[in-house]
Amino acid sequence: MLVSNGANWIVNQESLPGNSSGTPWINGGNNVTTTQNFGTTSNYDVPFITNKAERMRLTSAGRLGIGTSTFNATYPEKLIVDAGTTTSVNAIVGRGTINNYLQLNIQNLSAGASASSDVVATADNGSEITNYVNLGINGSANSSGMMGAANDSYLYNIGQNFLIGTGSSSKSLVFMTGGTAQSLNERMRIDGVGNVGVGTVNPSNKLSISASSNPLFLSGLQNGASSDSILTVLNGVVRRLSISSVSAWGLSGNSGTSASSNYLGTTDATAFVMKVNSAQVVLGDETKENLGMNYAELVPVLINAIKELKADLRKRRNNWKN
């Protein structure tokens, strides 16, 4: 073979193109009849260049770098793509046409106690331990206790606030459990104006709860105080009512009352009844213009009251003597 450097010619021996051992790869491709190898037979990388610059490198360890020949020293990548300083917002794009799901899949085949499969996005100042968001699933034998148990899925971040929501003002954030059909498995939603619905798809208040029975249960409630408020329900809407605004007699008595305007009784023609131990002791009936007492029921009450009074007097007398 004659080879020229532009000024001189030399004779060089080289195998002719073909599919036998030692045959070179030629421009336009080779007509081969069996699978042929391309690469190195020694411990050296294979760099790929265009326009006199390296664009891709396949290392001797089998790692592929596109846009870089430098791999992470601690956790070397099997495939790394470095777009460098670029005007493109796309580093990697995958697309296809199929009447089924088209996926980007990562699967950890380890059944170890700490195994999981994760997709991670890291901030410019992030690392393996901070400033990242993680979507993943634990392996079948994961027992690390981190982010659930075996085969549990998770989504979390390490860094600052974690935001989740919809970017369209008229759309809702929907939560489902028990299945993938929204019509059957929707449990809660936050609509476009911020109303929260539990058991309803049309929340009309900041919090709307709907159930066939017992829609709300509260535990761990604290004892009330005189400054507390009372919650009332009208057509399902909960309202706050100050205790001080309630016209009622307290179990321990009332203060600031007026003899002319505060009383115990009825404002209509219904009889007023007082009971002790579910037995009627006093009956006030305006229609009959009388006040009746059931002495058989009232006398034991009076006797007990007298006994309590005598016991109190006896206690006070003993205290005075001492």
Confidence of residue 7 (pLDDT cuts 50, 70, 90): low
Give me the chain's average pLDDT, please. 86
pLDDT for 19 equals 58
pLDDT for 55 equals 95
pLDDT for 4 equals 53
Q: Is residue 145 part of a domain?
A: yes
Q: Average of pLDDT values for 297-311? A: 78
Looking at the structure, do residues 160 and 174 belong to the same domain, yes or no? Answer: no
Q: Which residues pair with 208 in a beta bridge?
A: 197
pLDDT for 20 equals 60
How does pLDDT run across 238-279, given as a tens digit for each residue?
888 776 666 677 777 778 788 888 887 788 878 788 787 777
- The H or E element spanning position 273 is strand 272-276
Q: Is residue 251 part of a domain?
A: no
- Coil, helix or strand at residue 161: coil
Looking at the structure, do residues 105 and 160 belong to the same domain, yes or no? Answer: yes
CA distance 19 to 35: 9
Looking at the structure, do residues 282 and 305 belong to the same domain, yes or no? Answer: yes
Would the pLDDT of 52 be above 70? Answer: yes
Q: Is residue 6 part of a domain?
A: no
Looking at the structure, do residues 129 and 184 belong to the same domain, yes or no? Answer: no
How does pLDDT run across 26-35, given as a tens digit for each residue?
888 888 888 8
CA distance 144 to 113: 6
CA distance 172 to 294: 64
Looking at the structure, do residues 151 and 206 belong to the same domain, yes or no? Answer: no
HSE-up (13 A, CA, CB side) for residue 130: 3
Looking at the structure, do residues 133 and 178 belong to the same domain, yes or no? Answer: no
Q: Average of pLDDT values for 279-283? A: 71
pLDDT for 159 equals 97
Looking at the structure, do residues 144 and 118 belong to the same domain, yes or no? Answer: yes
Confidence of residue 15 (pLDDT cuts 50, 70, 90): low
Burial class (CB within 10 angstroms; exposed 0-12, middle 13-18, buried 19+) of 260: exposed
pLDDT for 101 equals 95
Q: Which stretch, 21-25, 47-51, 261-265, has highest mean pLDDT? A: 47-51
pLDDT for 14 equals 54
Q: Is residue 83 part of a domain?
A: no
pLDDT for 246 equals 63
CA distance 193 to 206: 9
User: Number of folded domains in the chain?
Assistant: 3
Q: Is residue 8 part of a domain?
A: no
pLDDT for 26 equals 81
The residue that leads in pLDDT, 17 or 117, is 117
Confidence of residue 18 (pLDDT cuts 50, 70, 90): low
CA 78 to chain centre: 33
Q: Which domain holds residue 315?
A: 272-322
Q: Is residue 153 part of a domain?
A: yes
- Within 8 A by CB and 6+ apart from 23, the residues are 15, 16, 17, 30
Looking at the structure, do residues 177 and 152 belong to the same domain, yes or no? Answer: no
Q: Is residue 191 part of a domain?
A: yes
CA distance 176 to 259: 59
What's the CA dihedral at 143, 144, 147, 149 to 10 degrees? 10
For residue 298, the one-letter residue type is L
Whole-Å CA distances, 118 to 76, 131, 202: 17, 15, 36
Looking at the structure, do residues 198 and 181 belong to the same domain, yes or no? Answer: yes
Q: Is residue 23 part of a domain?
A: no
Looking at the structure, do residues 155 and 185 belong to the same domain, yes or no? Answer: no
Would the pLDDT of 12 be above 60? Answer: no
pLDDT for 62 equals 96
- The H or E element spanning position 182 is helix 182-185
How does pLDDT run across 110-151, given as a tens digit for each residue?
999 999 999 999 999 999 999 999 999 999 999 999 999 999
